[in-house]
A and B are shown apart, each in its own frame.
Chain A
């Protein structure tokens, strides 16, 4: 349900803003255990952008890409050349874990550094490299009950603190 809500909300925002700004970019990012789809747009004439990303990831105990990632992001291009750009960003969001044993909606904050290499004459395409440092920890309750016993325990889920990704962006 949460995944559907997030995807719907993201789709609405993307559709709403696609033609509103001069620079928009849609990106796909591949990390070791995470795949994100991101939408960002520039803020007026400043070298600043805001965006959001949704993704699927695999950091809990079931080794399946069924965790949900939702982040909003603000970034600043501190170095822009004709073919390359470097930006830093701050982000916050949630990392939703749900498996057969527990659920944990984990708040996440972090910062990142992105490098972009533009391609093509109109530079509508770019290859991106990113490294994010993030913090997110959530305690969760586990309960097991059988005819013999009821067991309760508090577990703790933490997101992996460093995320390295490679991606592709399309600007329009």
Chain B
């Protein structure tokens, strides 16, 4: 009986309740959202990407993180052999600018992300409700997405370290993280973030590279990221 009561009580539906002026941020997944990650004996698993969404001012100064997937936020990698995957989301890491004891800009198990929310990367579209407390328009919303082992003809698994295409080796990133950006001001009701470049392939810097000619399948991770102001 107790079990039935507990089960019934845990079936409550959750939903977001928007108010006038709230921002609705929606990430629509592309056909490359779930990507094969090799396990063992030729078996693979469909993995969603790592991603971060954050706000900057119009000078490009980081203000706050909105969301980061949990493996980045909590150093939640399994069997990574100590590899902290600095190539996963380097642009967000460097924009955020918080350096940890090992010199990297990635949150650790001991000091996980506290300035934003996190969770396991969703398998499908993701929606967020954002209320601006002390931030004033115009603002820049940015998002960065990346898959592991997303190799192509340029970013191959056997590229030697030091090459401009090196992305962490055979279990590394492959194609680098892609960065999307959009400006929202008080007169804009809706903005679709535009692809503005890729991050450092090996994660060694927070540079942004606008040349996307060597990026192929990584463009299909996200269909679009849309931010709109709720008008009721």
Which residues of chain A are within 8 angstroms of B2 by Cβ–Cβ distance? 9
Query: How far, in angstroms, from A93 to B40 measured CA to CA in the complex?
Result: 32
Query: How far, in angstroms, from A60 to B117 measured CA to CA in the complex?
Result: 15
Contact flags (1/0) for A94-116 with B, using CB distance below 8 Å?
10000011100111100000000
Indicate which residue in B3, B67, B132 contacts A93 across the interface (CB closer than 8 Å): B3
Q: Given A107-B11, A146-B133, A149-B64, A93 and B6 touching (CB < 8 A)?
A: yes
Count of residues in A whose CB is under 8 Å from the partner chain: 39
Which residues of chain B are within 8 angstroms of A146 by Cβ–Cβ distance? 64, 115, 133
Q: Are B127 and A92 in contact (CB under 8 A)?
A: no
Query: How far, in angstroms, from A153 to B53 measured CA to CA in the complex?
Result: 13
Q: Is the interface of B mostly helix, strand, loop or mixed?
A: mixed
Q: Given A148-B133, A148-B135, A154-B14, A70 and B6 touching (CB < 8 A)?
A: yes
Which residues of chain A are within 8 angstroms of B116 by Cβ–Cβ distance? 144, 151
Listed stretches A35-43, A75-83, A121-129, A133-141; interface member? A133-141
Indicate which residue in B10, B66, B67, B127 contacts A106 across the interface (CB closer than 8 Å): B10
Q: Are B3 and A153 in contact (CB under 8 A)?
A: no
Q: Are A92 and B76 in contact (CB under 8 A)?
A: no
Contact flags (1/0) for B66-107 with A, using CB distance below 8 Å?
110010001010100000000000000000000000000000
Q: Are A94 and B10 in contact (CB under 8 A)?
A: yes
Query: How far, in angstroms, from A69 to B84 measured CA to CA in the complex?
Result: 31
Query: How far, in angstroms, from A79 to B84 measured CA to CA in the complex?
Result: 50
Which residues of chain B are within 8 angstroms of A144 by Cβ–Cβ distance? 66, 115-117
With an 8 A cutoff between CB atoms, is B59 at the interface? no
Q: Are A92 and B118 in contact (CB under 8 A)?
A: no
Q: Are B78 and A93 in contact (CB under 8 A)?
A: no
Query: How far, in angstroms, from A171 to B66 measured CA to CA in the complex?
Result: 54
Query: How far, in angstroms, from A20 to B109 measured CA to CA in the complex?
Result: 48
Q: Are A61 and B120 in contact (CB under 8 A)?
A: yes
Min CB distance A58 to B, Å, is: 10
Min CB distance A87 to B, Å, is: 20
With an 8 A cutoff between CB atoms, is A72 at the interface? yes
Indicate which residue in B3, B9, B119, B132 contacts A61 across the interface (CB closer than 8 Å): B119
Nearest B residue to A9 via CB reads B2
Q: Are A92 and B132 in contact (CB under 8 A)?
A: no
Q: Given A105-B6, A151-B117, A61 and B16 touching (CB < 8 A)?
A: no
Q: Given A138-B10, A141-B14, A149-B66, A61 and B127 touching (CB < 8 A)?
A: no
Which residues of chain B are within 8 angstroms of A105 by Cβ–Cβ distance? 6, 9-10
B1-52 contacts to A (CB < 8 Å): 2-4, 6-11, 13-16
Min CB distance B210 to A, Å, is: 28
User: Which of B76, B119, B122 has the most chain A CB atoms inside 10 A of its CB?
Assistant: B119
What 5 new A-B contacts, CB under 8 Å, besides A148-B132, A148-B133?
A108-B7, A146-B133, A151-B67, A152-B129, A157-B120
**B-binding residues in A (CB < 8 A):** 9, 52, 60-63, 70-72, 92-94, 100-102, 105-108, 138-157
Could you list 5 examples of A-B contacts with CB < 8 Å? A101-B118, A105-B10, A107-B10, A151-B131, A153-B126
